[in-house]
Amino acid sequence: MLNLYFGLIKMIRYIRQFLFFMLLVIARPALASYPFHLPAEIEEKVILFTERTLYITGEKVHFSATLFYSNEADTSVQSRILYCELITPDGIIVTNNKFLIQKSSAYGCLTIPDEQLTGTYYLRAYTKLMRQNGPQSYEYKQIRIINPRKPDVLVSENNQNSLSRQFIQTEAKGAKDLLSVSVEKEIYTPRDTISLLYRRINGSSVKIKSLCLSVVPENSKSSSSIHPVEKIPFQAETKFYAETRGLSLAGKLTESASAIPIPDKRINLSIIGEGRDFMVTRTDSAGRFFFALPDYTGSRDLFLCAEKTPSKSLKIWVDNDFCTTPFRMPSPDFSLNEQERRTVQNMAQNIQISSHFRKLPLPDSLGKNMDVLSFYGKPTTILYLDKYIQLPTLEEYFNELPSQVKVRKRKGEPYFAVQATNDLSFYDPLVLVDWVAVDEPAKILAVSPLNISRIEVVNEDYLKGGQTYGGIISIISKKGDFAGIDLPSTGIFINYRFLSENQCLENFTGNAANLPDVRNTILWKPTLKVPLSQPEKLILKAPDTPGKYSVVVEGITTDGEIFSITSGFEVTD
């Protein structure tokens, strides 16, 4: 009776595993062909503000972006990643980065390289979905950059190009019927306390979607954007989708020689180093694959590889995450009027003075604990090889020592089997070397045990990216060099840039008493609280640099109307 009971239990387990397997087989084509992104019929629009439009090389361009969606009510179908770039009028990218969108808003900064030439440039912003309609659908903000150390001026090739006449510079509308902004006095001395008030106009019923505020030198900011007069038909080379989950990586799997797309093949992605993540997906009917990535910051190395296909030589193509479509913008002759020249001279002097007192901040990552666990969390067991007498081969560590992994043979070829209380033989285990999937056990077993630090084992079914594994075997080398193993031939390494590191929150409130306060941006609030019945108050310190300063509040109504209102004050010796 006891044997019959255990036999029935085993049969039920096999039936359950078989049904689960059949469910995966039935669902897999749908999973492979349906990307996790939103279809491209939904439209998105970006509106961009900067704290100034006149900069010195080496400074940061701070921006605030607001997104409008054709389906505002459904937040699950809205992009979460903004791409922002500083470009020349000829479309050459100077610098760029990615920023997280939260509640339809994003903000950050881009640093102007010190060697950049004086000239007219553009800050442009877009989402991945907007790439479906081409660069003409992006948002552009014209800025001017001055390099006081170089006399050369940026020369663009399209001053007379017809594209220049297809764009128009639009000024923001006044907001006297929406808001008022004021300061207590017109004249201050250095380090005086400035009280700034902004309020809604009584009786105004217009709804405001977002506001930003900047206090900057007079003549250093203009409230205008560049927009196309008419849309030009555009056909994207590939289909782009909204990044509703966050950062994404997409590409295509083809045969190496013929470039024929390969459908329904498993693609593995490993994040090397900090993060220690592993992901898996399958190509769709067009050979395309999509990965949703975590919201990490900075750059990390990724390793992509396709499952082993003995009869074919495969190649992985990865989409460029930034726009590469050639596009030119208007390039007006560069000039400064007398007032702007004085402003630029003061700004350049401020930077020169501050460089003598600047203390570089420590990177955000310093002092933080590195991730100690992999994506699978705490393993069931860990085998530390140095705790045992040295054995000649890795296979002996598995088979001779108490281990939850054994090496077996199938048609003369070795394979790994994870031992567990329930039967895991229905699925192959996921085998990782330094968090890179390797599906060739013979290669792993040929590695010298002297190169291995430990082996972590998870002895239960593990579901990842729609793929079920009969446990996990994670082999960690001593030097983080994959133990010298030859990685899969279809694999490629990518140095992928995740989100911008949060190093843009500078001191906009004033310096210490013993340091000169020579800020070129006195105050920048990229997301300003919208006032209701009561006025909102901001406190700031007057800088040490004499001159006139502008207080500029810019915003967008829920109908997409851009407005601006300005006040000002003067700082005297």
Per residue in 491-533, pLDDT (tens digit) is 999 999 999 986 676 667 777 777 889 999 999 999 999 888 8
> Range with the lowest mean pLDDT among 74-78, 102-106, 183-187, 359-363?
359-363
Q: What domains sit in the chain, N to C, each tagged with a CATH number? A: 2-38+243-318 (no CATH), 44-234+326-356+502-571 (2.60.40.1930), 381-488 (2.170.130.10)
Helices within 273-393 (DSSP H only)? 338-357
User: What are the DSSP calls for 448-459, one per residue?
Assistant: -GGGEEEEEEE-
Residue 130 in 3-state DSSP? helix
**Position 446 confidence tier, pLDDT thresholds 50, 70, 90:** very high
Which residue is listed with tokens 């039967």? 423
Q: What pLDDT score was predicted for residue 363?
A: 45
Average pLDDT, the chain: 84
Query: Do 431 and 441 form a contact (C-beta atoms < 8 A)?
Result: yes
Listed residue (111, 55, 81) closest to 504, CA to CA: 111
Distance of CA 270 to the CA centre of its chain: 17
Amino acid identity of 421? T
Average pLDDT, stretch 289-302? 92
Per residue in 546-567, pLDDT (tens digit) is 999 999 999 999 888 999 999 9
Which residue is listed with tokens 């038909």? 233
For residue 534, what is the DSSP state? Answer: S
Q: What pLDDT score was predicted for residue 513?
A: 73
Separation in Å, CA 212 to CA 204, 523, 527, 554, 564: 19, 11, 5, 5, 10
Higher pLDDT, 509 or 442: 442
- Please, which residues bridge with residue 254 across strands? 261, 315
Question: Radius of gyration (Cα) for the chain, nearest Å?
Answer: 29
CB burial class (10 A; 0-12, 13-18, 19+) of residue 454?
A: middle
Percentage above 70 pLDDT, the chain? 85
pLDDT at 160 > cutoff 90: no
Residues ≥6 apart with Cβ < 8 Å to 275: 294, 296, 300, 371
Rounded CA separation 115/408 (Å): 61
| Strand bridging mode 299-306 / 492-497 | antiparallel
Per residue in 375-430, pLDDT (tens digit) is 888 899 999 999 988 899 999 998 888 778 999 998 888 999 898 766 656 788 99
Which residue is listed with tokens 């070829």? 413
Q: What pLDDT score was predicted for residue 505?
A: 66
Enter the pTM of the model.
0.86
Rounded CA separation 290/269 (Å): 11
Sign of CA dihedral 436, 437, 438, 441: positive
Kindly state the tokens that stand for 299: 């750059």
Helix or strand (DSSP H, E) at 217: strand 208-217
Angle, vertex CA 144, rays to CA 134 and CA 98, nearest 5: 45
Listed residue (360, 361, 359, 357) closest to 517, CA to CA: 357
Taking phi over 0 as left and psi of -120 to 50 as alpha, with beta for the rest, 104 belongs to: left
Identify each DSSP E strand in 218-262 by its residue range.
Answer: 224-228, 248-255
